Amino acid sequence: MNGYLSIRNLTVRLKGGGTILRDVSLNVAAGQVHGLMGESGAGKSMIGKAVLGTLPRALDITSGQIWLDGVDLQTLPPAERRNRIGALAALIPQDPLTALNPSRRIGPQITRRLVDILGWKRQDAAKRALELLNEVHIPDAPRVMRSYPHELSGGMRQRILIASAFAAEPKLIIADEPTTALDVTVQKQILHLISEMQARHDTALLFVTHDLGVMSKVCDTLSVLYAGKVVEEANMPRFFMRPIHPYSAALLAATPTYTDPTSSLTPVPQTVVDQVEREVMEHDLRTAS
Amino acid sequence: MTLLRIILIRLLTTAITLFGVAIIVFVVIRVVPGNPIAMMLPPGATDADIARLQAQYGFDKSIFQQFVIWLGNVTQGDFGTSISLRQPVSDLVLGRLPATLELSIIALTIAVIIGGTMALLGTRFRDTKGEAAVDVSAGMALSIPDFLWGLVLILLFGVFWPIFHISGRVSPSINIDFTTNFFLFEALMRLRFDVIADLIGHMFMPALALAIPLAAIIAQLLKQSLKETMHLDYVTLARTKGYGENHVIAREALPNAILPTLTLVGVQFTFLIGGTVIIERLFSYEGLGNMAIDAVINRDLPLIQGIVILFALLFTIVNLVVDMLYVVLNPKLRHA
């Protein structure tokens, strides 16, 4: 139960309003890839944001703990928490087109944290950035270092963001739907690259996606989320063979197959949706009383 | 587009703009009633005297003929002779220009410092009472025009707590022979700190009066722009790297948020230069604006033309500088 990242009974609420995450618990073991699966609006991204301390201001963590490398982040003062997250974890964002600062060259965007926060020498940081860009298979890395984001393609920018995420040798990477904003042809390469980098650097990876196909390729374990509640936590082989929760089973059934062109899409049956909705409601009633 | 092409195109449009301004000013001040020549002569002058003097200044010709003659002279750098001051217009106008430029630039600097600080504080303490305080003070500053601020400042720092000079540009007691009319710049170069203090003492209130409304505009727009930028992904990403709020605002958000503000500041700066006309009058500051009012009162046609053309030129230069700054600050435009 003690992962490198261990979230326990995390509840996040809108200030003066609805509940976004309901009693979420999950574990990401060191060096393992944990998938976070759910429909749009299920709260997948919010878990990542809660860990990294970038929840929108309108949201509050009302209860629960977030243990990172054996320390409960919630108990730390803000500056210390920020430093700890910055040193141990990193984010691969969803949209590479908006995640790089448009008015700054690529090089500094990778090296600055090394210099500013970790106290590296400028030359060492630049050397490291070049190495990383080579690792993510970017040709002509020195030129790219001098480029501005708008001069590069989406795929290139995502590679840069991946390189940047691994720059400080974090022990946990949170990838928030890292391929959603990309071209289908590029998606596969990026996915492959993330797996490759994760294995080489032996980091734990929390992989947020709504794409079961993607998940089956990269993850060791997964959590299925519905309306901010974890409905199933499983390891991958077991999940694909014997999903326990009907919602999980329905999701698996809904995954389109490309081998049979005559097959039609299977929606998640209403009875299953009703069942998860009921569970969420029961949970809310239980916690309210 | 390269910088050179931008400048060339801009020079062309500037020439066209100035030509248009010249036509309008030339026609308008001749069409409105009032005879400058009659005002020059003593009450007992005969019609023959008036006609002779009018012929001497060329006012007996048609407006079109006058314009052609005037334009011909202007292309040779001759803007005519002031009727009321009997000196070449170009000497008079260029002699006063440095005073107005110094005042405007000081005012702009004050506006940027105050407005920028307010915007940064408002963003730092957004969604709290701190931001509300910035909004309220900016709203107040903006709802009072610059000349009223001038009067308020005179009351405050000239009457109740007289720490600044309320009129003029430099105290007569100051012992210095200026070689240029850029008094402040020259004093700075010559490290005459007593003179600098005296000049600032004169300039502070008119500059502040001009700066307050502009500062309010900068505060509102830059804060809005910063707040929008704070939601963007690269700012969030910087937070996850361990950067604190101050760093994120100043280093990640500000360089991008400043761009829309810059355009507006350019436009507003030209309004500020326009505002010097009344403010200089209020503080008896010997600049171009003060001279413009005298010129209009005396119906000194050549002088009015010269001043208006110079103001128009100033406006176009300010816009050109803003456009170039925009290219420098926005990497997307730099190589395109």
Q: What is the CATH number of the domain that holds B255?
A: 1.10.3720.10
Query: How confident is the model at residue A1, as a pLDDT?
Result: 47
Lookup result for tokens 């026609």: B27
Mean pLDDT of chain A: 89
User: Would you state the structure tokens that stand for residue A130, as one six-digit string?
Assistant: 């070049």
Q: State the residue range of the domain holding B114.
A: 96-298
C-alpha span between A155 and A97 (Å, rounded): 9
Q: Which residue of B has its CA nearest to A55?
A: B236
**B264 min Cα distance to partner chain A (Å):** 20
Q: Is residue B124 part of a domain?
A: yes
Q: Does A9 reach chain B within 8 Å, measured CB to CB?
A: no
For residue B174, what are the contacts with CB-CB under 8 A and spacing of at least 6? B194, B195, B198
Cβ–Cβ gap B237/A148 under 8 Å: no
**A84 min Cα distance to partner chain B (Å):** 8
Q: How far is CA A278 from the centre of its chain?
A: 28
Question: Best residue in B230, B241, B327 to probe A by mutation, most A CBs within 10 Å?
Answer: B241
C-alpha span between A229 and A247 (Å, rounded): 12
Domain count of chain B? 1
Instruction: Give the β-pairing of A89-92 and A172-176.
Output: parallel
Length of chain B: 336
Bridge partners (DSSP) listed for residue A68:
A5, A71
Tell me which chain A residues have a C-beta less than 8 angstroms from the C-beta of B242. 82-83, 85-87, 113, 117
Q: Which residue of A has its CA nearest to B241?
A: A86
Cβ–Cβ gap A103/B329 under 8 Å: yes
Cβ–Cβ gap B239/A52 under 8 Å: yes
Length of chain A: 289
User: What amino acid occupies position B215?
Assistant: A
For residue B220, what are the contacts with CB-CB under 8 A and spacing of at least 6? B119, B135, B138, B142
Q: Is residue B65 part of a domain?
A: no
Q: Is residue B44 part of a domain?
A: no
Are A250 and A274 a contacting pair, CB within 8 Å? no
Rg of chain B over Cα atoms, rounded to whole angstroms, equals 24
Q: Is residue B330 part of a domain?
A: no
> Where do the DSSP E strands lie in A128-286?
172-176, 204-209, 221-226, 229-235
C-alpha span between B71 and B78 (Å, rounded): 9
Of the candidates A244, A182, A171, A238, the one whose C-alpha atom is nearest the C-alpha of residue A211 is A182
Q: Which residues does chain B have with pLDDT short of 50?
A: 336
Tell me which chain A residues have a C-beta less than 8 angstroms from the C-beta of B232. 98
Query: How confident is the model at residue B222, as a pLDDT?
Result: 96
C-alpha span between B121 and A71 (Å, rounded): 33
Q: Is residue B114 part of a domain?
A: yes
Q: Does A77 reach chain B within 8 Å, measured CB to CB?
A: no
Give the count of beta carbons closer than 10 Å to the beta carbon of residue B326.
Answer: 15
Average pLDDT over residues A37-50: 88
User: Would you state the structure tokens that stand for residue B205, as one six-digit string?
Assistant: 């209130």
Query: How many CB contacts within 8 angstroms connect chain A with chain B?
Result: 69
C-alpha span between B200 and A230 (Å, rounded): 67
**A57 min Cα distance to partner chain B (Å):** 9
For residue A175, what are the contacts with CB-CB under 8 A and spacing of at least 6? A91, A92, A194, A205, A206, A207, A208
Cβ–Cβ gap A102/B252 under 8 Å: no
Question: Which helix (H) or strand (E) element contains residue A32?
Answer: none
Is A265 buried (19+), middle (13-18) or exposed (0-12) by CB count in 10 A? exposed
Q: Which residue of B has its CA nearest to A82?
A: B242
More confidently predicted of A43 and B111: B111
**Alpha carbon distances (Å) from A217 to A38, A79, A209, A250:** 17, 37, 12, 19
User: What amino acid occupies position B47?
Assistant: D
Cβ–Cβ gap A54/B127 under 8 Å: no
Is B198 buried (19+), middle (13-18) or exposed (0-12) by CB count in 10 A? buried
Of B240, B255, B256, which is closest to A90 when you measure between CB atoms? B240
- pTM for this prediction: 0.85
Q: Is residue B101 part of a domain?
A: yes
Of the candidates B265, B242, B237, the one whose C-alpha atom is nearest the C-alpha of residue B253 is B237
Its sign, for the CA torsion B110, B114, B115, B120, is: positive
Q: Which residues of chain A from 158 to 177 reach within 8 Å of chain B, CB to CB?
A: 161, 168
Instruction: Give the β-pairing of A5-14 and A19-28.
Output: antiparallel
Tell me which chain B residues have a C-beta less than 8 angstroms from the C-beta of A52. 239-240
**B104 min Cα distance to partner chain A (Å):** 30
Question: DSSP secondary structure string, B81-129?
Answer: B-TTT-SBHHHHHHHHHHHHHHHHHHHHHHHHHHHHHHHHHHHHTTTSH
Tell me which chain B residues have a C-beta less than 8 angstroms from the C-beta of A100. 234
CA angle A166, A109, A74 (to 5 degrees): 60
B interface residues, A as partner, C-beta within 8 Å: 127, 232-234, 236-244, 247, 252, 255-256, 329-332, 335
Rg of chain A over Cα atoms, rounded to whole angstroms, equals 20
Phi, psi of B36, deg, nearest 5: -65, -30
Q: Is residue B89 part of a domain?
A: no
A236 pLDDT higher than 80? yes
User: What 3-state class would DSSP assign to B134?
Assistant: helix
Question: Best residue in A103, A146, A152 to probe B by mutation, most B CBs within 10 Å?
Answer: A103
Q: Is residue B273 part of a domain?
A: yes
The pLDDT tens digits of the residues spanning A89-124 come to 999 999 999 999 999 999 999 998 899 888 899 999
C-alpha span between B313 and A172 (Å, rounded): 60
Cβ–Cβ gap B234/A99 under 8 Å: yes
Give the count of beta carbons closer than 10 Å to the beta carbon of residue B53.
Answer: 18
Query: How confident is the model at residue B335, as a pLDDT?
Result: 59
Tell me which chain A residues have a C-beta less than 8 angstroms from the C-beta of B241. 86, 90, 113, 117, 168
Q: Which residue of A has its CA nearest to B126?
A: A57
ipTM: 0.87
